[in-house]
Structure 1
Amino acid sequence: MTLQRQTRKKKKVRKFRVFMVVFLIAFIAIGSYAGLQFYNASRAANADNNLSDDVEFNGSDGNVDNVNVLVLGSDSRGGDSARSDTIMIANYSSDTKEPKLISIMRDTYVNIPGYGYNKINAAYSLGGPELMRKTVTENFGIDISYYAEIDFKGFEKLVDAVAPNGIEVTVTPEMTTDQKALGVQLTEGTQKLQGKELLAYSRFRHDANGDYGRVQRQQEVLTKLKEEVASVTTVAKLPKMIGIANGYVSTNVRNGLLLSMGTDVLRGKTEDMQTMRIPVDGSYHDARYDVGAVLEFNVGGLEQNTQEAQTFLNQ
């Protein structure tokens, strides 16, 4: 099926978040307190976010019932050298109401349109979300309609808003011995981590599992956060959470879609989140080029990943 693409170049959309807040405030009847939470959180977040207000993104105008959102996590240190530390495809189906998540390992060696072969996360520094979209689409055949660019500062603040007592995870011995790589002090064992510590946990890659372990932890953390967001006790915090996201998330997701997804989560229709990783097991090998250590596809490996990704997303 031929998909018509339309260029969208616009400033960071804030109105849809206000729309959600108004809807949720009316729905849960928490009045002026919630409005004050949103206002204060949004003002504080916008004061120190590092995301660009102007983003070019030529998303697909294809299947409105099965939508893919490109999710990019960045530390936004500034300059052209910044690369995306987290690359995911979030899928939402209006039929099943079930979210799906594909994580693409950042060292995956692919052809970046116009630049040649490199690690896939280089596409972000070379051309932002739009070049990353092209790279994902041309390599794996995944049609992407929207993007969400997330500053890691916002992740920390959102975790603390959603779960002020922390999210329970298990810290491995390796994480306690490599404190420099983490940037925080952790102790071994099962415990609840708050925003800064949980971010360090999800980004850790200096053990035997390397980037594989990091992708697994990121998916684990997102699943647990989804459970927290869907809990009854979190509903009253939604305006504050949305206010925080307002300053740390740049996206072009339209109002109606966001509201549909959010409503489904609140109604408890998304109990399980299916996940996938690219590259899949057995389809690649370790290699080294002038760009450093990479994950290179075996012969036929790219085609295998493309087929499995499209099957996973029901494309």
Structure 2
Amino acid sequence: MSVPQDYLATPPPRRFRFPLRTVLIVIGVFLVVVLAALGAYAYGLSASFDSAKRFEKSFPAEADRPAATDDASQNILLIGSDAGGPGSDPGEVEGTRSDTMMVIHVSGDRESVHVMSLMKDSWVEIPGHGQDRLNTALVLGGVPLAVQTVEGVLDARIDRVASVDFEGFAGITDALGGVQVNNEVPFRSFDKGPITLNGKQALEYVRETDSFTDGDIQRLRNQQAFVKGLMAKFLSAETLTNPGKITELMSAATPYLEVDSGFSSGYAVGLGFELRNLRMDDVTFFTLPVIGPADHGGEVAIDVDWNQVAVVRDHFREDTLDEYRPVAQP
């Protein structure tokens, strides 16, 4: 993949809006580890999980993909989209722009999970279409092209793919009984310090931009704080030892989930069982390294830091993301 050459010394001003769906995409992580502590009971949820919609086609032609690795690591691509939701048809995500993408890397020894966000406006190579924003891949070629694009960026194979719709977010939050976050910057009705959010409040919390002097940067911090609170609540004994709460969470999430044909309850249960000892300290979040906004022939997008991406690629290929230390992002 070539590196964009037309970087601007002084990019034009633009307030980039970080994805509104970032938090919900992390629910995809839960669908991997949700069954981890439930043993045989997990199979009782298979009918609910397997009712999720399936993509008509998920992956590009084998000749266009990176080679599979010999280790047991797994890479799961999660796509956030406005499409989907109860009553929608399979494949409806096709032709829409993805609001966010994340790659979940599950280590081969099952001792860690790394969740890498990709900014939707990242300027990358879209196979067969030249360079464009990352989120156009879904428009131009559906899920297979989105997978192929991400595989090209990472030079690593995607094993499973799922799309989650935003509309299920509030119900999932409420199914957990609310989520506590440590709010660093007070705004509107949200005080400074520990606060507990219900689904409706959480939507407002992760969306807010105008109340902050640094706009989307603080919103991203709020989203990350909420993600940590969400995962902490989910991975607590209060949740994982309560079959009724797990069932409620699954029921809230499944209608808004679309997956590839191999992402079955058997796969989720098996991987979840292998991750049964996973705790919050074992889950790491980072972002694909970027430089900042730049103009590309009239198109303002986010330039990717390809030098740092080369480092990320090595860690993906070698299953050594535990050793990766992300650089500060602009």
Distance 2:216 2:149 in 1: 20
> For each residue in 1:106-129, what CA deviation from the matched residue of structure 2 results, as whole angstroms up to 9, or x when unmatched?
221112112222221122222232
| 1:310 maps to which of 310, 314, 317 | 314
1:272 counterpart = 2:276 = no
**How large is the RMSD of aligned CA atoms in angstroms?**
3.7
> For each residue in 1:222-281, what CA deviation from the matched residue of structure 2 results, as whole angstroms up to 9, or x when unmatched?
33322222212113211222222221111232444422443355544553312221125x
2:185 aligns with: 172
Superposition deviation, residue 198 in structure 1: 2.0
Distance 1:209 1:140 in 2: 30
Structure 1 stretch 82-91 or stretch 209-218: which is displaced more?
209-218
- AA aligned to 1:189 is K
Query: Bigger relative contact order, structure 1 or 2, given CA contacts below 8 A and separation 6+?
Result: 2
> For each residue in 1:255-314, what CA deviation from the matched residue of structure 2 results, as whole angstroms up to 9, or x when unmatched?
44422443355544553312221125xxx23213466431124xxx31421322432674
Contact 2:121 2:135 in 1 (8 A): yes
Pairing 1:75-154 to 2, within 5 Å after superposition? 75-76=82-83, 82-154=96-168
**Alignment TM-score, normalising by the size of structure 1:** 0.69
- AA aligned to 1:202 is V
> For each residue in 1:176-219, what CA deviation from the matched residue of structure 2 results, as whole angstroms up to 9, or x when unmatched?
4xxxxxxxxx4342322222332343344555555555554444
1:224 aligns with: 229
Q: Percent identity?
A: 25
Contact 1:171 1:189 in 2 (8 A): yes
Distance 1:248 1:79 in 2: 11
1:233 aligns with: 238
Distance 1:256 1:239 in 2: 16
> For each residue in 1:121-155, what CA deviation from the matched residue of structure 2 results, as whole angstroms up to 9, or x when unmatched?
12222223221111111123132111110011122
Runs of 5+ unmatched residues, structure 1: 1-16, 29-33, 177-185
Superposition deviation, residue 103 in structure 1: 0.8
1:72 counterpart = 2:79 = yes
Contact 1:108 1:279 in 2 (8 A): no
Structure 1 stretch 255-264 or stretch 93-102: which is displaced more?
255-264
**Alignment TM-score, normalising by the size of structure 2:** 0.66
| 1:159 maps to which of 168, 173, 176 | 173
Runs of 5+ unmatched residues, structure 2: 1-30, 85-91, 320-330
